[in-house]
Structure 1
Amino acid sequence: MKLVWEFEDSDVERVKAIVASQSDNPFVKERIGKNLWKRPPTISKERFWDVLVGCLLTSQQRSGPQSRVNLFINHRPFPLSLARVRGARSRTKFVTNTLTDWGGIRFVNRIGVHLSRNLRVVDTDRWLEIDATLKGMCAKRSPDAEVRAAADLQSMLAGVGPKQARNLLQGLGLTLYEIPIDSRIVKWLNGAGFPVKLSASALGDEHYYRFVLQGIRELCRAAGVLPCVFDAAVFSSYDSDGWTADNSVW
């Protein structure tokens, strides 16, 4: 069997229009500057950790410019830096207490457990596997390479599913084609008449996620837009003019 994605001219124009309408948004400009690089970024273990924390925090939570999650992520010094969590006597309790004290963040116990487990991953030889995966993406930028990298991270990291893996890679500035399909993307695509009715629960399945993402990539290709830019445009469109150069850096 063979599935062919076909889109009307009006579908393509909607994508072009949303990207054009957000072209001056600092969030979109930050995405373009970070992901459409000419020289690959250097990703330290500390940088990887910070973005990983951000991905787990933004999962199933409001993460607009003035949300408690985004304010936490952009707070400096970063409250859950690698050094701080590593130095805690009880890492799970430290994460949980830090998030609880900040307030307005859900699932703090689950996040504490996941980060404690993930610290054991990045502080062992498995970091070499992660580092090799990231460097491999820099060497060859393609949808297939991004899919493989996302699968690798899912297999190694706690609390990281299809969406979180792509959010992590995108946050590191490594992806062009694979995007995190969050509630805003789902809402926009359903409203635009995407051929498949999307649901957040179904997107937890890797095969369904990749099927839907293939359709998004084809739609973006028809519009001459990179998926990572489309993602930033849709995401920022729900926040009016709330994004600035300072709060969209993570």
Structure 2
Amino acid sequence: MTQIDLTGRTVLVTGGAQGLGEGMARALADSGGRVVVADLQDEAGGTLAKSLGEQHGFVHLDVTDDASWTAAVAETVERFGGLDVVVNNAGVEVTQLLVDTEPDDVRRMLEVNLLGTMLGIKHAFRAMRPGGAAGRGGAVINVASVAATIAFPSIGGYSATKSGVDRLTRVAAMESGKLGYGVRVNCVYPGLVPTAMGQKLAVETAGLGLFESPEAAVGAVVELTPSGRLGEVADIADAVAFLASDAARFVNGAGLPVDGGMGM
């Protein structure tokens, strides 16, 4: 049986300075990978990378900017001798009812959640494909959301962008296969996790009058979840490590729910 062992592989995690991204970075490092934390938060990202150990590092990255991706991937390949896994985790969520849609908020979610993931795939493919700077294939893991599979009020824009990540994942897997890139592309659908983003959602949905309190909002989510609890950062991080490893070598173009059954 193949173990989850990423020894010798370089893994770039976007939005890796905090929340789910931090958990993913730690799990991937624990699995033996050389982790590159990629984020706009230079201080937090650099501190996390140092805490992981000498073989790990930090690169500044704005996922919405093509030139920033070019620089971050080039630095990663030069400093760590390659690039084998890209985790497109960076994301933003704005809670608002559809009748209160603010175009600038939606554009921001589209840019970070969808365009940012698309650019991550672009630069992963260019580096990992035959003849690329790394050139030995690899894996891309995109972070979608249970919001892509359920109808939850007040997150219409976020749900739409994460549904786009799901479709993009499958198209990317097909393109990689047809063009012989040797890069597997999958995504995960995290359930609600009490990170800063998850806590913010509970507070804001209550503020909109959808629930009596943030606690009631959380209770409603738990009630919809067969496993009977919220997710934990480690639940999502372990799934990402699995998809990055050879244990998932024949898993491609798939979406893996890590939501306790909420989106079934």
TM-score by length of structure 1 reads 0.30
Higher strand share: 2
Highest RCO, 1 vs 2 (Cα 8 Å, sep ≥ 6): 1
TM-score by length of structure 2 reads 0.29
Higher helix share: 1
